[in-house]
Amino acid sequence: AQKVTQAQTEISVVEKEDVTLDCVYETRDTTYYLFWYKQPPSGELVFLIRRNSFDEQNEISGRYSWNFQKSTSSFNFTITASQVVDSAVYFCALSDLTGGSEKLVFGKGMKLTVNP
Amino acid sequence: KAGVTQTPRYLIKTRGQQVTLSCSPISGHRSVSWYQQTPGQGLQFLFEYFSETQRNKGNFPGRFSGRQFSNSRSEMNVSTLELGDSALYLCASSSASRSTDTQYFGPGTRLTVL
């Protein structure tokens, strides 16, 4: 079965620090997709990135960067020069096509607190 | 484009009652999925609808049901509410033009069962 593990449950940093959120996944599928979502206190899950299993290139978007390594089944997320507005719960997710259509399997989430 | 909308945002019900939650997807999106989020179990998939048909279902009892209308709006219903049904219910939509597509989430409906 598909599984996503976010070993860190909570991290607290001071503004401008870099922080890396770890994500390890398990799947038997050869084609799959990985996602990161952000959940601010308002509750809505905000989409950050989607990566397919054939694309191992790292990606950078502003202060955000993602490191996908199939060899270690990891899809880590780094925030550079963190800001207070980055405070949220971050979820890593894996696509699961069992049952005929896509559903997402989420990790337990990691709460990031950025202090001024 | 307007995002996914969910109504109501908050609900308080008592055990044994039933509840209906509504979700309007992003315009043009035909797939709607529902997830339940609780502190203990995290985010869990409930079901997915596409073109008014349930295509996938998670591991939840039959008290949880849903439907989708021709305009892609979706409702989910929970009958005979239990205390454990207290949760944030999130709806997500996607275009589903391919077998896998990004799901965009709404703000959720927070259900409290007393």
Q: What is the tens place of the pLDDT at every residue in A23-50?
A: 999 998 888 999 999 999 988 999 999 9
pLDDT (0 to 100) of residue B21: 98
Q: Nearest CB to B56: which of A33, A101, A107?
A: A101
- Strand-pair category, A10-14 with A110-115: parallel
Which residues 41-80 of chain A have a CB within 8 Å of chain B? Answer: 42-47, 50
Is the backbone of residue A43 left (phi > 0), alpha (psi -120 to 50) or beta? left
Does the beta-carbon distance from B100 to A44 stay under 8 Å?
Answer: no
* pLDDT at residue number B66: 97
Put simply, whether A84 touches B (Cβ < 8 Å) is no
Give pLDDT < 50 ranges for chain A. Answer: none
Residue A95 touches chain B, beta carbons under 8 Å: yes
* B60 in contact with A, Cβ within 8 Å: no
| Contact status of B57 with chain A (Cβ, < 8 Å) | yes
pLDDT of amino acid A55: 83
pLDDT score at B98? 56
User: What are A18-28's pLDDT values in tens digits?
Assistant: 999 999 999 98
Contacts of A104 in chain B (CB under 8 A): 33, 35, 43, 45, 92, 103
- Tell me the mean pLDDT in the region B70-96: 95
Distance from CA of A100 to the nearest CA of B (A): 6
Q: Where are the beta strands (DSSP E) in A1-116?
A: 3-5, 10-14, 19-21, 24-26, 33-39, 46-52, 59-61, 64-69, 74-79, 88-96, 103-106, 110-115
CA-atom Rg of chain B in angstroms: 13
Among residues of chain B, what percentage have pLDDT more than 90? 89
DSSP A84: G
Inspect the interface and report whether the beta carbons of A107 and B42 lie closer than 8 Å: yes
Q: What average pLDDT does this structure show over B23-46?
A: 95
Q: Is B50 on the interface with A (CB under 8 A)?
A: yes
Q: What is the pLDDT of residue B97?
A: 59
